Amino acid sequence: MGFRTIEELCAELDVKRKSALAGGGEEAAEKQKSKGKGSARERIAALLDAGSFVEIDEFVTHRCSNFGLEERKPLGDGVVTGWGTIGGRKVFIYSQDFTVFGGSLGEKHADKICKVIDMAIQNGCPVIGINDSGGARIQEGTDSLNGYGKIFRRNTMASGVIPQFSVIMGPTAGGAVYSPALTDYIFMVDKEAIMHITGPEVIRAVTGELVTSEELGGAETHNTITGDAHFFAKDEAECFEQVKKVLSYLPLNNLDDAPLKATNDDPRRADLALREIVPVNPNKSYDVHEVIKRVVDDGEFVEVQAGFAKNIVTGYASIGSRPIGIVANNPDVSAGCLDINASDKASRFVRHCDAFNLPIVTFVDVPGYLPGKDQEYGGIIRKGAKLLYAYSEASVPLISVIMRKAYGGAYLAMSSKSLGADVVLAWPQAEIAVMGAEGAASIVFKKEIEGADDPSAKRLEKIDEYREAFANPYRAAERGYVDRVIMPEETRKVVCQALDAMESKRETRPAKKHGVIPH
Ligand code: HXC
């Protein structure tokens, strides 16, 4: 009997470390590789700065004694956790290891994830979860469900405090999808990521519908149809680049400001092409991306939810080195109208920017709400209200640029003065009115038009009369609903001046526990 030597003790540690690194073994690792998927640790290494990852809890094991699991206790329990840096900034991370019980989530696996989320909240740093999992670990029963519940609660507590990103690189089934859905962003890798509540077999048994896993919950589906995902990547490498890019526009937590972005782009740069890009004729369309790219620093725009509700565009850019969020109607798609999906997409982005202290610049060219039974039955009233709520609630600097149409309720919803916009700018062709000239003239001059010898000529005359009198920015400017009417080419300079002026904006609000946002 005696003490073992330090060499023996270190050798033992070394063996344990190697065992933890082995995960689910060679065969499972080969299977993962053969599908073109990275391992849990390779993924962390690809995302974080080289050599920055520090792993914790590598010796954690489950304590389940059902269905033979007591004989299989892989070190680490199927998830790799710890911290590191991205671009020199600290992040906390977890990455599920599919080679261990299919990355399924049991009690201790969940505890490891909860620990890094807690650390991220306490230290005010983003948390990134790489998901690749068969869902609840079936052998662990309610312990596994309890684990999910604890993660959901932490995601909710962290919401608006630290950025939370979910990177989906494998299956995510059942209630397991709800942790990602509670985070800021879901990044999905094409042909690898699957998210659904009930899978194709259950759907076939219950409703008789036939659908493939990919159709039901693949990256394409969630980035275009459901809007549940925010970024689509063709492979893992592209996905990690997206994560890094988005992170570079965000502060580490809600008490910080986002880091400035170095640029040589002159903040006073004028761009005469803006006069041509947006046609004066309100019936002609154009791609609002062209406007955004010409106004922001170096033309760099990082779009969020690029494939969903394309009639509104959301994303990050910087102006005068200052990171901002951008919301813009896109006349190229459905004339840039507001509908259910556009309202959902924009309101969530506005709240995200507000939570993380990013000023919001809104480019307005909106004809109104999309008419239709589908829209009314689908809840456009509450969805539209959500956008009103999001802008009204936002206390970050709000700058609006009314480029052309701004009609009715949609004008109000798109960051209007009355909802709290700090600086509202309008271009000379802006039309700020209750509705377009055609509709307005037909109603206001109905009797005159109907009683005319040539009603259609009279109608055109009255439309022109109305347009001349009201379809311009000056009525709104007379009332102070527009702060400045500017030349299109001055937009970058003037927005930059407005952002400078609003830099120290502070607003106090009535004390409350929280509001009740329309959903
Ligand atoms: C325990 C699991 C598991 C799970 C997979 N495995 N899912 N073990 N619990 N949920 C194990 C498999 O038994 C297998 O172990 C290994 O992981 C690899 O799985 P394969 O099936 O060989 O891999 P693959 O063919 O790629 O299929 C992956 C899969 C499939 C599509 C994820 O495994 C699958 O359908 N799993 C079940 C998914 C599921 O129904 N989960 C519960 C969802 S409900 P061996 O030892 O053979 O290598 C849920 C509720 C959450 O999650 C509620 C939260 C509120």
Catalytic residue among 124, 160, 174, 439: 174
pLDDT score, position 141:
94
Active site residue 173: no
pLDDT score, position 437:
86
| Euclidean distance between CA atoms 91 and 240, whole angstroms | 14
* Ligand 1 center to 102 CA (angstroms): 5
Active site residue 175: yes
**Phi, psi angle pair for 513, to nearest 5°:** -70, -60
| Euclidean distance between CA atoms 499 and 360, whole angstroms | 9
| Cross-strand pairs, 167 | 130, 187
* Ligand 1 center to 137 CA (angstroms): 8
pLDDT score, position 438:
86
- In the block, tokens 């761009």 appear at 271
The residue whose C-alpha atom lies closest to atom 51 belonging to ligand 1 is: 175
In angstroms, the first-to-last Cα distance of the chain is 68
Q: What is the pTM of this model?
A: 0.96
Active site residue 477: no
* 140: DSSP letter: G
Tokens at 488, concatenated: 């299109």
Identify the segments of the chain with pLDDT beneath 70: 1
Q: SS3 of 214, please?
A: helix
Tally helices (H) and strands (E) across the chain: 21, 17
- In the block, tokens 């040589």 appear at 264
Nearest Cα neighbor of 422 from 398, 401, 396 is 398
Catalytic residue among 409, 420, 452, 477: 409
Please tell me if the CB atom of residue 133 comes closer than 6 angstroms to any atom of ligand 1. no
Nearest Cα neighbor of 357 from 218, 255, 469 is 255
Q: SS3 of 112, please?
A: helix
